[in-house]
Amino acid sequence: MRKAANDIKRCVACGVCALQCPRQAIDIYKGCYAVVDEAVCVGCGICASACPAGSMTIKEYESSRNAGSMTIKEYESDCNKGPGKITGVEDTEK
């Protein structure tokens, strides 16, 4: 199963990935960085190709009901527009 992933430290929140996504699976979180809705993302790679900062990539995950290699993690926002947390899925087999 392929899914888009964003490196929030490299993301410049330009919104190009969100505009190019044919499934509308990407939003810009508080004007700070792109967030991928993995339930909607089909892993087509259009966002990664369009990203001028190179922060959007496509990752391969095992396709199973038991997502043993993935964990839920909170990411602290390092955005200068205010504090916040988002919950996302992180690949623990890096």
pLDDT in tens, 52-75: 999 999 998 775 544 444 443 444
pTM: 0.67
Chain-centroid distance of CA 75 in Å reads: 12
What are the sequence ranges of the domains in the chain?
A: 2-91
CATH topology for 2-91?
Answer: Alpha-Beta Plaits (3.30.70)
Half-sphere CA count of 45, side-chain side, radius 13 A: 6
**Tens-digit pLDDT profile for residues 23-35:** 999 999 999 999 9
